[in-house]
Amino acid sequence: MHIKKEKNDLIVPVKMDINSTFTFACEKEMACFTQCCKNAHIMLTPCDIIRMKKRLGLSSDEFLQIYTTLGFIEKTDLPIPVIKMRDDEKKTCPFLEESGCGIYEDRPLTCRYYPLSAGMFHNRDLNSDEHFFALIKESYCLGHDLGRELTVKEWREDQGIIPYDEVNFDWAELILKRKSLGPFTTIPEKTLQMFFMGCYNVDRFRRFVLDSMFLNVYIISEERKKEILEDDLAMLSLAMDWLKATLLGEKTLKIREQVAETDPVEVEA
């Protein structure tokens, strides 16, 4: 999350690891309560969109159209939905109510992590991923050094973060691999459309799978076919396998022998 500040209102990050400790509290009685829900740049992950659109009883198409605007992942040309703030004086989050967050149980990952931010670094030499964290101390926030001391690990458990990170893992890997290609690699517009659909619009991707030649090209087990019809997370998993196969050439999906020499199925512009 990024909160726009005045020039003299600096954000001070403190680098941390999974076992680092910090003390923080956020209570309704505090003068700063919900200030982080105003004039914020909240990027949404694949898991966020599935949870939020289900909570609101909307399709992915409807949710994206009503509640988001287009942003880009830092240091890449990869698109990402960003929550569209209300057009009011304080640019408040559309889910903010008088008593606080109206979708608190399904709030985005960025909000769950706050006052932490999280990132992942891919070590190519060791072929492993390293997670890192930062404590963000913003001057308006009065919650620091209050409440009980927690490790980053305990905070992630307490805020229900781990299931989100597990769902988003493949998506995060795609982003890391894109970054590893460097800033001078250009990704075609059609590829960016494929990335957006597969990552963020699970309902459109489901239509794509069922209405195109997808199931005639790729070998998908009957059990998996059943799952993707009923479960958005199963459909997201298939989308990640498809993107890895199509964009990165990884062998995450098997192609039927009779079409093995043809181009993989792609989304129409």
Tens digit of each residue's pLDDT (9 = 90 or more) over 100-134: 999 999 999 999 999 999 887 655 554 556 778 99
- Residue 268: per-residue pLDDT: 54
Structural contact between residues 253 and 214, judged by C-beta atoms closer than 8 angstroms: no
- Residue 180: per-residue pLDDT: 82
- Residue 75: per-residue pLDDT: 84
- Residue 266: per-residue pLDDT: 58
Specify the DSSP element, H or E, that contains 194.
helix 189-200
CA of residue 83 relative to chain centroid, distance: 12
- Residue 183: per-residue pLDDT: 72
Beta bridge partners of 144: 24
Q: Is 245 helix (H, G, I), strand (E, B) or coil?
A: helix
- Residue 15: per-residue pLDDT: 84
- Residue 269: per-residue pLDDT: 40
Beta bridge partners of 92: 38
- Rounded to 5 degrees, φ, ψ at 80 are -155, 135
- Residue 1: per-residue pLDDT: 43
Low-confidence ranges of the chain (pLDDT < 50): 1-9, 126, 269
Q: Is 44 helix (H, G, I), strand (E, B) or coil?
A: coil
